[in-house]
Amino acid sequence: MTQIPLPELALVALIGVSSSGKTTFAARHFGAYEVLSSDHFRALVSGSEHTLDANEAAFSSLYHVAARRLERGLLTVVDATSVRAEDRRRLVDLARAHDVLPVAIVLDLPRSVLDARHEARLDRPFSGAVIGRQQTDLRRSLRGLSREGFRHVWTLRSVDDVETTQVTRVP
Ligand code: CTP
């Protein structure tokens, strides 16, 4: 069983491809206002979670809110795929700018699980090939996360591991 002793003041990047369970994990372990979801921000700025050309507006809004929270010393969780280094760099920079620890919780599930979940979803109208591309990006990234600046990296590799993980807050 994975134990995640989370620093009380941290910027937590939940990293994982679509359907890896980031939103489900966030809802289980964090408060509603602690979690900033890219889907939610896309919907706020455009009326739908799926408006792809709303990414710029959605992420600039998300980073803005994250910065305001970190200024107040509030733990903040970013629920976005973050499988590309340039996306993660924004998060590490944001944490550093506010003197807060950037930490990563990675959901790296087997492709068979991801494919089955993706097929069962009606709310993700893109092809399953997207999942494959995201997974390739993610797996290329894994070894370098500490070098990118994440001070702690926890990687969950199975459904069972995700289900049984315990998150505690440490001062
Ligand atoms: N799911 C599941 N079992 C879990 C976790 C999630 O069957 N233990 C299902 C959810 O019901 C949902 C899908 O998998 O239909 C994706 O879960 P979600 O938490 O939304 O994954 P995300 O990684 O947040 O997906 P996305 O990036 O597409 O928002």
pLDDT at 116: 97
CA 118 to centroid of ligand 1, rounded, Å: 8
CA 97 to centroid of ligand 1, rounded, Å: 31
Cα gap 96→73, rounded to integer Å: 13
Q: What is the pLDDT of residues 114-140, one digit of tens each?
A: 999 999 998 888 899 999 999 999 999
CA 102 to centroid of ligand 1, rounded, Å: 24
> For a pocket test of ligand 1, which of 17, 24, 159 has the largest count of ligand atoms closer than 8 A to its C-beta?
24
CA-nearest residue, atom 16 of ligand 1: 19
Q: Pocket around ligand 1: residues whose beta carbon is below 6 Å from it?
A: 16, 18-24, 39, 81, 117, 121, 124
Q: What is the pLDDT of residues 64-122, one digit of tens each?
A: 999 999 999 999 999 999 999 999 999 999 999 999 999 999 999 999 999 999 999 98
Cα gap 110→131, rounded to integer Å: 11
Q: Band of the pLDDT at 55, cuts 50, 70, 90?
A: very high
pLDDT at 126: 87
Q: What is the pLDDT of residues 14-27, one digit of tens each?
A: 999 999 999 999 99
CA 8 to centroid of ligand 1, rounded, Å: 26
**H or E stretch including 135?**
helix 128-141
Burial 135-156 (b: 16+ CB within 10 A, else e): bebbeebeeebeebbbebbbeb
